[in-house]
Amino acid sequence: MPDPDFGVDIEEMGHVFDEADVVIVRFHVIGQRLLLDMRPGGTGDLPLIRLVPPVNGAEERYRYLQAERPRMPLPDHITVVAWPRYVQVMQDTGLWQCIVDRLVREAGDTMLPYAEEAYRDVRAAERAEVAAAIRGGEGYESLWERAASR
């Protein structure tokens, strides 16, 4: 059942992060997606967590995964979840910790810097997008403009 404060079922999303092999997180503010490929490779490949560009469909995402992880078999499916809040709220609710815990469970503390970097990347992308919206940057239109100086 969705939490009325967040618009998603926090507990269910935690289960997804805990159990799914490959997850794409769509954020409401930024166009990039967070790719979580929790599968450690038998050839020493670590799980993958990073911001990735959006794609035009599942086939394109599978091609992306194949290019990024050529020694890994393609996953049977990719789970896509939408996060309707800022990533800070994901951290505040404990969902980001679910991601970190899963990464550590799969590959040990080696994954901690990768998780921290991904978190910083998502936060930076959100801040940049919000700033562009406020300034009327590319893709945005200002509602108010300063009066011309005389």
Q: 66 Cβ partners below 8 Å, 6+ apart? A: 74
Is 79 inside a domain boundary? yes
- Which domain does 82 fall in, by range? 10-135
Q: Band the pLDDT of 52: cuts 50, 70, 90.
A: very high
Rounded to two decimals, the pTM is 0.86
Angle between helices 112-135 and 95-107 (to 10 degrees): 150
Is 142 inside a domain boundary? no
Is 54 inside a domain boundary? yes
**What are the helix and strand counts (H, E) for the chain?**
5, 4
Look at 3 and 109; give whichever has higher pLDDT: 109
pLDDT of 2 above 60: no
Q: What is the pLDDT of residue 142?
A: 65
Is 128 inside a domain boundary? yes
Is 43 inside a domain boundary? yes
Residue 84, helix vs strand vs coil? coil
Q: What is the pLDDT of residues 96-134, one digit of tens each?
A: 999 999 999 999 999 999 999 999 999 999 999 888 877
Paired tokens of 102: 């899963």
Which is it for strands 48-52 and 33-37: parallel, antiparallel or unpaired? antiparallel
Is 149 inside a domain boundary? no
Number of domains in the chain: 1
Percentage of the chain exceeding pLDDT 70: 87
Is 58 inside a domain boundary? yes
